[in-house]
Amino acid sequence: MTAGATDRSTDHPEALVIGAGPAGLMAAEALAAAGARVVIAEAKPSPARKFLMAGKSGLNITKDADPATFGAAFGQATDWLAPMLDQFGPEAVQDWCRALGQEVFTGSSGRVFPVTMKASPLLRAWLGRLASAGVDLRNRWRWTGFEADALRFETPDGPRLLRPRVTVLALGGASWARLGSDGAWAPWLAAQGVGLAGFAPANAGLRVDWSPLMARHFGAPVKGAALCPPEGPVSRGEFVISQRGLEGGGIYPLSPALRGGGVLWLDLFPDLSQDALAARMARARNGDSIGSRLRKLGLPPAAAALVLEWGPRPLPTGAALAGLLKRLPVRHAGLRPLDEAISVAGGILQDSLTEGLELKALPGIFACGEMLDWEAPTGGYLLTASMATGLHAGRATAARLTGQDRQAT
C-alpha cells in the first residue's frame, strides 16, 4: 500500500473511499473482496488516527452482549442499525480480530479488548491485508467538495479532480478535529440536497466552574454514586473530577439528557434509603463537624468535597443532610464543547439514505460511520457500529458496481 501516491493517470478510479478510519477501511475491504479496484483518500498523514487514540488506554473493540441487548443501546437508531449489526455484531467483530491474528478477551464488564490492549497491532495487520488485496491508500489527500461532476481534492502535488464510478464517504463526525473528524463535509452535502441533523456533543464531559478549594481533588475518581437526570436511566458508572469539570464513563451516557444544560442530581448513597441514611447519621456525636460526619459515613474525600462545593451554606444536619446526600444538585454549565466530545449526535438523516446507505440526492455516493445520524454509548458500541455501517455500505457499493457492469453490457 502506498502513502501519498501521485499517479496522475488515475482520474477515474473504479471505487473511491474517502476517509481511512474504521468505517472507511471496512468499506474498502468489502469492495476489494468483491473484486473492485479501490482507492482510499485520507486527509491526514496516516490513517485511523482517532482509532489509534481510542486505543491508547486499551482498545475496547466491542461489547460481549446478545444481539437484542446490544442493539437496544442505540436508542432511536436501533431499528435502522439492526440489519447492519446482524451482519457484523459483537461475535463477528471478535472473529474479525482473530482473523487478523489479534486474540481478544472479555473483561468483567463484558467489554472486549485485544489481548495486546493496543490498537496499533490490529491496525497494522488490517492495513497489510488491505494492501495485499490491492487497495491504494493515499494519505494527505483532503476532500474539499464538489466541482461539477467531480470530487475535488488537495493533495501533496496540488489540486486533483476524481471521477470515480462509485464513492463511499467515511469522514467521521465533528469531534476531535485534530485527528481528522471536523465535519467540514456537512455544508457540501447540504448544498447537494442531502438532509442533515445538526451536530451535538455525545459522550462528553460536563463543564463545572470549581471554587479554588476543589483543586486538590482534580484527578480523583468518584465511585459507587448514582447520577440521576430528570428523565432517562440513572447512571452508576465511575466519574473523575477534572480541572474542567466531570469526565468518565458515568457521565458520558447522560449526554442526551444534558445537552441543553439540563439538571442533574448526585445520589452518593444509592444503595441506602434516605431513612436508613438518616438513622446512620443519628448515631453521630453532637460535637462532630460536618466533615467528620461525612467521613464516618464512609464518603471518600473527593465525594465529601462535592457536598461542600454544591451544598447550601451552611450545610444542614440530621435528616436534611441525609436528603442532600441522596439528592445533591450537580451545578454544571452544560457539556464540554463539541470538539472535546468522544463522538457526536447528528449527521446524515436516515430519510436521505437508501437501505444500502446510498445518498438519494447523489446516486453512486454512499455514506457510513459517524457521518450518519445515530448515537452510541462508549463501551465498544460506537466502534462496532461504525465498522458495521462501513461493511454494509461497502457491500452495497460493490453491488451497485455490479449493477453498472450489467447495465453496460
pLDDT number for residue 55? 80
The pLDDT tens digits of the residues spanning 49-99 come to 999 998 888 999 999 999 999 999 999 999 999 999 999 999 999 999 999
CATH number assigned to the domain covering 15-201+344-408: 3.50.50.60
Q: What would the mean pLDDT of 181-196 be, rounded to a whole number? A: 97
Question: CA nearest 223: which of 214, 231, 235?
Answer: 235
pLDDT number for residue 119? 95
Give pTM, 2 decimals. Answer: 0.90
- 5: confidence class by pLDDT, cuts 50, 70, 90: very low
User: Under 8 Å CB-to-CB from 326, ≥6 apart: which residues?
Assistant: 267, 268, 269, 274, 277
Query: Under a CB-based contact definition with an 8 Å cutoff, are residues 1 and 40 in contact?
Result: no
Q: Flag whether pLDDT at 408 surpasses 80.
A: no
What percent of the chain stands above pLDDT 90?
81
pLDDT number for residue 7? 42
pLDDT number for residue 2? 39
- 37: confidence class by pLDDT, cuts 50, 70, 90: very high
- What are the C-alpha distances in Å from 216 to residues 219, 264, 298, 311, 344? 9, 24, 19, 18, 32
C-alpha–C-alpha distance, residues 320 and 56, integer Å: 44
C-alpha–C-alpha distance, residues 361 and 194, integer Å: 6
Query: Under a CB-based contact definition with an 8 Å cutoff, are residues 367 and 359 in contact?
Result: yes
C-alpha–C-alpha distance, residues 385 and 367, integer Å: 13
The pLDDT tens digits of the residues spanning 302-336 come to 999 999 999 998 888 888 999 999 999 999 999 99
Q: What are the start and end residues of each CATH 3.50.50.60 domain in the chain?
A: 15-201+344-408
Q: Where does residue 209 rank: exposed (0-12), middle (13-18), buried (19+ CB within 10 A)? A: exposed
